[in-house]
Chain A
Amino acid sequence: MYRVRLWAVKRSRFMESLYNRFNPVILTVMRGVTKVFGKSLDRPITVVEAGVKGFLFDCKMCGDCVLSSTGMSCPMNCPKTIRNGPCGGVRDNGHCEVKPEMRCVWVAAWDGASRMKGGDAIKEVQTFVDSSKQGSSSWLNIIREDANDN
């Protein structure tokens, strides 16, 4: 939802502290769940993630979540899905060149990041989005990648 997503960016400092508190919990739970159930609960987990993050951030389920590095503004809402924005076409009022009624996702992102403790993460270059992860749960992707790395 557009309104909720603007609210989430405005409260980016608060959302960040929520994120920092709950993310490790969620990932721990995911690790436990996947240990016991394997892949059999992937679908419901993905639906829950899509519901929660969809409501708060208009999440597009790219499966490659970078919210904490983009001021709590989901870059996949950018019509050009730019992961290192903004582009040069931002309107004078800070709105999107493609959707004039929408605040530029990346104006919001830099704004949100400026209020966050770890906001400087937005200055790091984001690498290539992995399109093969589209539609999958980034929670599950993170724990499985960690497991593969170890």
Chain B
Amino acid sequence: MTTNLTPDIELVGTNPGDPLAYLPDHVSFGRFERILRAGRFAVTTEIAPPDSADPDEVLRRAEIFDGAVDAINATDGSGANCHLSSMGVCAVLTRNGYSPIIQISCRDRNRIAIQGDVLGAAAMGVCNVLCLSGDDVSVGDHPDAKPVFDLDSITLIKTIRTMRDKAQFLSGRKLDAGPSLFIGSTINPFAPPFEHRIHQLAKKIDAGAEFIQTQYCFDIEILKTFMTRAVDMGLSERAFILIGTGPLASAGSAKWLRKNIPGVHIPQPIIDRLAGAEKPKLEGRKICIELMQQIKEIPGVKGIHLMAFKQEKYAKSIIQKSGVLAGRKPWEPSDFDFTRQVPTKIALEKAVKRKTK
């Protein structure tokens, strides 16, 4: 065991998978909520779920963020494409000490399945949940599938709040133990109807969202307008708002993203800058770092959600170079009681390596 704990380690614990003690006014046992409630600037990212049943592949994709992020989103069939489930990813991650945010989309499951999964996730040690409507089946690799959409993101928030706060299902049937989840949702300030998006955010917070992660931000001016209104309406005090952003690989991929991913808005000057750069990939990362630094300065912003799709290996250096963590080092795997973990090769190798050090 480490003996000389820094305040940060005291905040988040050292032994991954250890249930942390409840703190007053906290709703979960998780590190992510602790970081935000302690007033620290948080950084989250998302894991690209593998098309594989191999748990090592999940850990391989998670460990590139070690020591750089406070939580990792596990996407739920994003883009309506089929991958390893968010529940599966989260189960592997929590057993290895990571702090995942399980994404739940309303596209594939009705309220019976979702409520069961919410309990399942909490039982697996997941402390955070992100409620989404979900992309339509028509944009994915199974356009012939039946879309469900029994709930929408806001009624999903209400569902989980009901389960957690009242310890009951939507039917009113009692739960023996409610799920201790920190509940979040999304907002896209960069798509129409611009003037009403803020009310949509207010509705999500009214329904019970405690943190918010936004769609990709490439347009600081739109974000500033949005956040000014959020601060004026007191919304930034009622929920922790994390702004999404990410590195663009080239002008071509930026245009592709703008055209093909619903709700992604990329201003022309950014595309021109990428097109004019000698090394577009490097320029994309530079733009991302600049955006992160600008985003951090905007009043009401409590963190950044870095989506480094297909550039995950650069995520750590982007976060470090941006300096948004102000020298704080988020949790990373260290010595832990190995018997509690999923017996994967990577975890085993790591434990042996540390023991022999």
Contact = CB atoms under 8 A, between A and B. Distances in A.
Interface of A: 79-94, 97-98, 104, 106-107, 110-111, 114, 122-129, 131
B136 A97 contact: yes
B265 interface: yes
What's the interface size class on B, roughly?
35 or more
B203 interface: yes
Given A84-B155, A97-B139, A125 B193 contact: no
Nearest to A95: B192
Contacts of B149: 80-82
A88 B158 contact: no
Nearest to B187: A88
Interface in B187-221: 187-188, 191-193, 196, 199-200, 202-203, 206-207, 215
A4 to B, nearest CB: 22
A73 B133 CA distance: 19
Given A107-B192, A110-B196, A125 B263 contact: no
A59 B265 CA distance: 32
Q: Determine the main DSSP class of A at the interface with B.
A: loop
Nearest to A80: B149
Contacts of B153: 82, 84, 87
A46 to B, nearest CB: 23
Given A88-B191, A89-B262, A127-B158, 8 more contacts: A80-B152, A84-B203, A88-B188, A90-B191, A90-B192, A93-B192, A97-B139, A128-B159
B192 A125 contact: no
Given A90-B192, A92-B192, A127 B155 contact: yes
Interface string B3-40: 00000000000000000000000000000000000000
B314 to A, nearest CB: 25
B284 interface: no
Given A86-B200, A111-B193, A123-B199, A98 B138 contact: yes
Interface string B257-294: 00000110100000000000000000000000000000
B134 interface: yes
B151 interface: yes
Contacts of B155: 83-84, 125-128
B135 interface: yes
Contacts of A127: 155, 158
A98 B203 contact: no
